[in-house]
Amino acid sequence: MKAVLLTQTGGSDKLVYQETPTPRLREGQVLVEIKAAPVNFIDTIIREGNMPPGMMPELPYISGVEASGIVADANGTGLKEGTKVAFLGPIGASTYAQFAAVDADKLIVLSESTDLKEAAVLPVNYFTAYHMLHNVARVEEDKFALVYAASGGVGTALIQLAKIAGVKVIAIERKQEKLASALELGADFAFASQGDWIDEVKQATGGRGVNYIFNPIAGDTIVQDFEMLAPLGHVVIFGLLGGMGETNLQAEAIKHFTKSPTVSYSEIYATYFNNYPLVEKSMKALYKLLDEEKIKPIYSTLPLEQASKAHDLIESGQVKGKMLLIP
């Protein structure tokens, strides 16, 4: 089969499209013919060799942790060959390829009518968003949610899913030109993170503040988050794009003690490895919404052999929604 191999860490030129053996199946695994393999930012971190100690996979390595496709070899698992499926896998799922070996009990069986490109967008981005909204923050109707990086993969998912849940959405983007797309997706307000945007957020909520903040940046942004937060509000941190920062979280929280703020950290693999039934339940709910056309995944595509270009686009912030590699 053809796959994109990483044999040494470095720039995007280290991703090499070449012939490699088709995976051998263990008991309980099926062979999935990949139809769409999403690119995630973690793929670029692995490629550069910048994973935390003990988390870097051994080389040679095939990137990718999620995909959609069809069952090519059911391997006695009870699944039918030709069935449409999608899955979220761990690091090492090796989806930048024509085929992948996947544990049968980690596959989500799709309906015959499901679009496999749209289906591929859901496992990481939409599960991350759904999990934070419903399992972590447990959002309520008519409350306000602030979404950072609103045009990104998780940001676009958060907007759509929050609106389905009856939540009012304030979208935040670095660039003014990206605000229109957030409003088109359903955001009630959209502000560029320049000038007096924090005051604009407060005004949009009638001075009360936002009830939920979904923050992939971290760094020192918790300071502004607490300032914008309503009493009994909840900040969910799900990324570290801004690094660790220098803020003393405890000291900052005490400044806003009368709000009784909640801060949670959401990392999907903590749930994946310790409560997969919750992942499965959430994923099935998402694919039901997809079949009902209540969500519309945002994505663009490139051929699998152009994985290096896909990484360049991701790293330069030029991708809206999800980038899919098509074998």
What does the alpha-carbon distance between residue 132 and residue 35 come to, in Å, rounded to a whole number?
A: 28
- pLDDT surpasses 80 at 128: yes
Task: Check whether residue 247 and residue 171 sit in a common domain.
Answer: yes
| pLDDT confidence of residue 241 | 72
d(CA 53, CA 45): 13
What phi, psi does 193 have (nearest 5°)?
-80, 60
Residues 187 and 239 in one domain: yes
* Token output for 64: 């990718």
Whole-model pTM: value is: 0.93
Q: Which residue is listed with tokens 């409003």?
A: 183
Domain co-membership, 162 together with 81: no
Q: Choose from 42-56, 116-130, 148-162, 167-181 the range with maximum mean pLDDT.
A: 116-130
d(CA 104, CA 77): 7
In a domain, 32, yes or no: yes
Question: Are 169 and 256 in the same domain?
Answer: yes
Q: Which of 125-129, 214-218, 295-299 has the highest mean pLDDT?
A: 125-129
* Domain boundary residue, one of 246, 265, 284: 265
What value does the mean pLDDT take over residues 71-98? 96
Q: What is the pLDDT of residues 260-278, one digit of tens each?
A: 999 999 999 999 999 999 9
Question: Taking the alpha carbons of 235, 162, 241, 238 in that order, is the dihedral positive or negative?
Answer: positive
Same domain, 14 and 118: yes
172 in Cβ contact with 150 (< 8 Å) = yes
Predicted local confidence at residue 174, as pLDDT: 81
Q: How many Å apart are CA 87 and CA 64, to the nearest integer?
A: 11
Task: Name which of 23-27, 218-222, 262-266, 298-302 the model is least confident about.
Answer: 218-222
**pLDDT single digits (tens) 12-30:** 999 999 999 999 999 999 9
Looking at 265, 282, 309, the residue that finishes a domain is 265
Please say whether the beta carbons of 210 and 187 come within 8 A.
Answer: no
If pLDDT is split at 50, 70 and 90, which confidence band does 51 have? confident
Q: Are residue 24 and residue 95 in the same domain, yes or no?
A: yes
Closest residue by Cα to residue 145 from 262, 268, 235, 219:
235
Is residue 78, in this structure, part of any structural domain at all?
yes
Segments forming the whole domain that contains residue 25: 2-122+293-326
For position 149, which CATH number holds? Answer: 3.40.50.720
Domain shared by 197 and 310, yes or no: no
Checking if the pLDDT of 88 tops 80, the result is yes
- Cβ within 8 Å of residue 39, ≥6 positions away: 64, 307, 310, 311, 314, 319, 322, 323, 324, 325
- Segment 96-123 shows an average pLDDT of 97
- How are the residues of the chain apportioned to helix, strand and coil, as percentages rounded to the nearest 5? 35, 30, 35
Mean pLDDT of 69-88: 97
pLDDT of residue 318: 83
Element (H, E) at 36: strand 29-39
Q: Are residues 145 and 255 in the same domain?
A: yes
CATH number of 55's domain? 3.90.180.10
pLDDT tens digits along 146-205: 999 998 889 999 999 999 999 999 999 887 778 888 998 899 999 998 878 999 999 999
The residue assigned the tokens 């591929």 is 120
Highest mean pLDDT among 68-77, 241-250, 318-327: 68-77
The answer to whether residue 128 is domain-embedded is: no
Residue 227 lies in a domain: yes
What is the number of domains present in the chain? Answer: 2
First to last CA, the chain: 10
Burial of 283 (0-12, 13-18, 19+ CB in 10 A): buried
Clarify whether residues 260 and 147 are in a common domain.
Answer: yes
- Strand 29-39 with 66-73, pairing: antiparallel
| 132 located within any domain | no
- Does some domain include residue 279? no
